[in-house]
Structure 1
Amino acid sequence: MKFNLFGALMLVTFLLPVNLRAQSLTFGSPVNYLPHARTDKAVDITRFKNGFFVVWKSMGNDAVVSVAYLGKQDATEFSEDIQVVNTSQTNAAPVLRVLGSRLYAFWIASDGSLRYIINNSDSTFDVAHVNTVAFSNTVKLKGGVSCAAFGNTILMVSHADDKNSMVHALLEATADGTLRAKEQNTIAVSGSSDYPFVVALNDHTARVTFKGANQDAQFYSADYALDSKTWSDKTTIHFKTKISPALYHVFNSTRLFYVWRGDKKDDHLYYAATGTTEIPKSQTELPDEYSTDVPVSLCAVDDKKFVVSFVGKDNKFYLSYFSNYNPARWQEDILFPAKANYTLKDIVMPGSHDAGMSVLSGTGGINAGSINECNVLTQTQTIERQLKAGLRMFDLRVGPYKGVLYTKHCSSDCMADAMGGGYGEKFSDVLLGLKNFLKENKKEFVVLTLSHFCQKETPTQDIARFIADALGTDVMFNNRQQSIDRVTLRELAGKAIVTFEKYAYPTHSIDSSTMQPLQSKAFLNLRREYAATNDISKLLARQVTFFKGLNEGARNNELIRLDWQLSQSSDEAAMVCNDFQSDNISPILNGAILLTNVIRKHRSIIDLSLRGNKYLVSNVSAWIADGTINKRNKPNILYVDAAGAWITDFCVALNEMELYQK
């Protein structure tokens, strides 16, 4: 089966990140993927040649195995290709394992034998040829398998077809990729009533985790030395589990991630992250939405993120991303203290276009009745949530609605003169959320740019006073006549730079900003190219021309902003959106983290943004590689609709590149 999808790379902004911080990990809410698939055993997900695969068995006894290719991390086109192994029958959870240039899918057949298939391309398996591992003595397996790669060898661990015995085998790859068993034996530690998990600690040692036998719910581990073929004594990990405790490498070879289900009626997931030489001594409980009866699967995305996939109580597939940095504190984690003397011109940060328009609180303009979520909403999270997702530059337009200031998005600066427009978040809520955020995160800093003022509706001086009163002088940055290229990140920590387009109010610590290609006397001039198109090819061409025209660099008071918005045509805004109704978004896994299926009846602004956002990472990366973007013209702001942690992830990666090093 193939599903053509539109969406944005990495974490889609329809997810509301939990952003819990424990054991240096943060994670987002789990979402359903492969929406039509069901299983009553564990799924396994893995990365192979920058593409992602998942394997599972169907519901019931003697069920068939299926594998799905989920696409590459930086793909701009995406499909889910499902292959069914029609000759497979299994009652156990299958598993994927990479060995050299090959990808294997293993499962235990109904007769207890170990079967497998091999990939025949970077995106498909040879499902017509099912292989069987021939063991030298009769051994029947059950429950499931786990594998770790060592050079040209796979160490397989499983459970024997009896009450308590765990078994292992070394499988060696031949020239054509088929596997032969070099040896097999019982795992020489106390037994278990479930199958174990295994990882390679180094080139010569493996670690297995398992639960105790029968009613013993204790969590154990043991190490196997491949050279001497000996097992260590088991180590008691002082937690209890009802199922096999999963064990994986994350981020690098020295970090291990343990994840298990609670005992008896406790169906929550728990995890611990440690070094390879450490034994977990504390556990972290995941929220209620992480609930399963079977083991979970992990897959590395890059050196900062991995995904956790599990089967929910409804037998559907769920996935969440985990990260080793906190998006809410990414500036502290990534920029301090090493880059404390850098300026805004030396870094890149994520920005939000029409930032306050994630909700529609009211409409206005001559044709107010034609305004709805389709043609006015640009974001999917409130500014408070965007702050927690790592957004640090916010474009705001403000106007009065029923006597109260709200963020706005309309076709003219003055709502009364506009054909139509909408009001979003209450402005006081935005400022209070920002103030509280900066008070709690004292190394983070934010840039607010306000524009599209209507003096006859609310004079700019009144807005300036409102902001100053709400934020307070301890939060608002006072430039003290400095140029922006002289202001260090250390000075900005815990502060908000607030600018008004073409206006300044020094007594309220509000500076002026402009957006012009010529010399500007404003404190901040944003160099940018707005494509004003719903055609991604035109947007790409305009941005290439823009960056090539900036090869001499930006002036001292200028930040370079990459404006990445697909805009609605007049027909789309006025006619296609007329009968628009909100519907639920269906989040789907993609190569890096998640895609969203936005195949809808109408092309809303959000639809267009998700369609366009998927091109950002791959194209900016390509422009860096070919020199279109270089140290002289590198962007300082990536400015998007449907902003979220996905754009923060990319900015974090960019800030660690040579391009952003002094």
Structure 2
Amino acid sequence: MGDKGSLVLVNGTPYTWQLTLVHSYQLTQWDASFPRTIAPFAAAAITVQRADSVFRDRTQDGGEASYTLLTNSANQPIFQVQARADGGQPFRLQVLLQNFAAQNNPLGSVVKVGWVVGGQVNYVLAGSTTSSGGAGSGFVCNNPPEAWMQANMALLGGRTLRQICMPGSHDAGISMRSAGTTGAFDCNILTQTAGIGAQLSAGVRYFDLRPVIAGGQFSTGHYSLLEVAGRKSWQGANGQSFASIVADLNAFTSRCAELIILNVSHELNTDLGNASYASFTQTEWDRFLGYLQTNVHNLYIAPGGVNVDLSSQTLRSFIGAGRAAVLVMFAPSDGANVTLSAQFAGRGFYKYNQLNAYDRYSNTNDLAGMTSDQLTKMRAQRPTPNNSFFLLSWTLTQNATQAATCFLGTASSILELAAKANPTLFTTFFPACTSSCFPNVLYLDDCADPTHTALAMAVNNLMVRC
């Protein structure tokens, strides 16, 4: 049997997709795999398999499948899914935008989709012929523009944050490991594969940043308190420094006028001795927030006073003037006797409850359990788009045994768990969304995939489905 994999097509448009051509050469599964139609806001999984390689020229492996979007216009958009192995490149799937353009993808573009043997690749096409409001293409696909919020201002500008979906990064600063404890390894520390700058470029707009003091400097950290034989010990490591994060933020906002939400929580002073790590004091919080206030550009001062409900503000109110807006959400650890000091409140810094967010992770390594739990919570908390801001925590969590033994190669790492969870966004999560029930943040490990941004835009287009 030849190499086999899966392609998921996500229809994030209000149009039925109709198969108008299908052909293949040296592919044992292709022609019959493509459905004749794909309904609006539905997903279809297609199996692709190559023939055995014996006595065959593998560079000739190929296939085409064309879909027409059944719009009311005379010039109906057509795209073609292609399988190719020529040009000295590995076997791959790609999509030709045959007679239309998508944002950041001109007419005739070939959009890379990829190929994973035994795994899944995804192609998302979202939007409509009218959703751009006349400002460029109304379609978004796998390669969206960096400034995707600005590119879709006609669609999203009048919506409140409760009515918008965006990608989010869990433990956003932990794409690298440094200055860790003896029990810290890449497998139980790393939650991301790209730094904040690359995450921003991929479309992430909500960041879970966990500040630590290490050697007197501010960094991100990923730590847990363990108790063994009656002795307490913190285990973990530091990630990207805040100096580096601030540089990434400022570089991005200098070219992209986007809304960025930084949730700072789980703070820890690691300069106190391993058994004595502690949450920030008021003085330490003020020093940290003062550092951000001095160095982060485009901190957003919201009208309406220091207690304004940010989730009820429209996207246009934040970035409609063409300037980036950075919100820092203050979320100190439970039980910490600290407050958001007056010199910060309302001046780019806000209490977490001003986002009015529901955030409850599943705390399991079981994929079926996590997906069921998160979708149940979404349906309960978000019966309408005007309900509280909702984070969909589409993450799997190592159990204690996995965290302790993954360095031996006998248990899944955090990133390996993410590789199991993230593909189901396209096959399980998206079909569960409706025009009235959807999340505001797709909260992920290993989040720096622009296809997640295209998926968020597919969700955003649900509210305008025909």
Instruction: Please indicate the TM-score interval, normalised by the length of the shorter structure.
Output: 0.5 to 0.7
Match of 2:299 in 1: 475
Shift of the 471–89 alpha-carbon distance from structure 1 to 2, 3 Å rule, reads: closer
In 1, Cα distance between equivalents of 2:386 and 2:259: 22
In 2, Cα distance between equivalents of 1:530 and 1:340: 29
DSSP 3-state at the match of 1:253: coil
DSSP 3-state at the match of 1:507: coil
Residue 648 in structure 1 maps to residue 457 in structure 2: no
In 2, Cα distance between equivalents of 1:8 and 1:436: 35
Equivalent in 222, 247, 266 of residue 452 of structure 1: 266
Equivalent in 198, 221, 234 of residue 408 of structure 1: 221
- State whether residues 410 and 420 of structure 1, in contact with CA within 8 Å, keep that contact through their aligned partners in structure 2: yes
Shift of the 636–99 alpha-carbon distance from structure 1 to 2, 3 Å rule, reads: closer
Residue 386 in structure 1 maps to residue 386 in structure 2: no
| Partner AA of 2:160 in structure 1 | T
Residue 621 in structure 1 maps to residue 430 in structure 2: yes
Q: Which has the higher contact order (CA 8 A, sep 6+)?
A: 2
In 2, Cα distance between equivalents of 1:484 and 1:405: 27
How much is the aligned-residue C-alpha RMSD, in angstroms?
4.4
Shift of the 354–253 alpha-carbon distance from structure 1 to 2, 3 Å rule, reads: same
Equivalent in 285, 295, 310 of residue 484 of structure 1: 310
DSSP 3-state at the match of 1:379: coil
Equivalenced residues, count:
376
In 2, Cα distance between equivalents of 1:565 and 1:356: 16
Match of 2:325 in 1: 495
Residue 612 in structure 1 maps to residue 418 in structure 2: no
Q: What CA deviation, in whole Å up to 9, does each residue of 1:527-556 have, x standing for no partner?
A: 133111111111122123212322555877
- State whether residues 405 and 411 of structure 2, in contact with CA within 8 Å, keep that contact through their aligned partners in structure 1: no
Shift of the 79–377 alpha-carbon distance from structure 1 to 2, 3 Å rule, reads: farther
| Partner AA of 2:242 in structure 1 | F
DSSP 3-state at the match of 1:610: helix
| Partner AA of 2:397 in structure 1 | S
Displacement of 1:618: 1.7
Displacement of 1:475: 3.2
Match of 2:97 in 1: 251
| Partner AA of 1:640 in structure 2 | L
DSSP 3-state at the match of 1:362: coil
DSSP 3-state at the match of 1:655: helix
Displacement of 1:401: 2.1
Match of 1:533 in 2: 364
Shift of the 400–650 alpha-carbon distance from structure 1 to 2, 3 Å rule, reads: same
| Partner AA of 2:343 in structure 1 | T
- State whether residues 554 and 560 of structure 1, in contact with CA within 8 Å, keep that contact through their aligned partners in structure 2: no
In 1, Cα distance between equivalents of 2:211 and 2:7: 28
Residue 564 in structure 1 maps to residue 394 in structure 2: yes
Match of 1:440 in 2: 255
Higher helix share: 2
- State whether residues 142 and 451 of structure 2, in contact with CA within 8 Å, keep that contact through their aligned partners in structure 1: no
In 1, Cα distance between equivalents of 2:52 and 2:2: 13
- State whether residues 561 and 638 of structure 1, in contact with CA within 8 Å, keep that contact through their aligned partners in structure 2: yes
Q: Which has the larger radius of gyration?
A: 1
DSSP 3-state at the match of 1:574: helix
Match of 1:546 in 2: 377
Residue 636 in structure 1 maps to residue 449 in structure 2: no
DSSP 3-state at the match of 2:343: helix
In 2, Cα distance between equivalents of 1:417 and 1:51: 64
Displacement of 1:478: 3.8
List alignment gaps of at least 5 residues for structure 1: 11-46, 56-64, 101-148, 150-200, 204-247, 257-271, 276-283, 287-299, 306-321, 515-521, 581-600
Equivalent in 341, 344, 356 of residue 161 of structure 2: 344
DSSP 3-state at the match of 1:538: helix
Shift of the 52–614 alpha-carbon distance from structure 1 to 2, 3 Å rule, reads: farther
Shift of the 566–479 alpha-carbon distance from structure 1 to 2, 3 Å rule, reads: farther
Displacement of 1:659: 6.1
Displacement of 1:273: 5.1
In 2, Cα distance between equivalents of 1:620 and 1:324: 17
- State whether residues 264 and 329 of structure 2, in contact with CA within 8 Å, keep that contact through their aligned partners in structure 1: yes
Displacement of 1:433: 1.0
Shift of the 446–52 alpha-carbon distance from structure 1 to 2, 3 Å rule, reads: farther
Sequence identity percentage: 22
Match of 1:278 in 2: none
Equivalent in 50, 72, 86 of residue 82 of structure 1: 50
Shift of the 50–505 alpha-carbon distance from structure 1 to 2, 3 Å rule, reads: farther
In 1, Cα distance between equivalents of 2:22 and 2:179: 43
- State whether residues 252 and 303 of structure 1, in contact with CA within 8 Å, keep that contact through their aligned partners in structure 2: no
Match of 1:464 in 2: 289
Match of 1:517 in 2: none
DSSP 3-state at the match of 2:356: strand
- State whether residues 445 and 495 of structure 1, in contact with CA within 8 Å, keep that contact through their aligned partners in structure 2: yes
- State whether residues 221 and 236 of structure 2, in contact with CA within 8 Å, keep that contact through their aligned partners in structure 1: yes
In 1, Cα distance between equivalents of 2:360 and 2:106: 44
Displacement of 1:386: 0.3
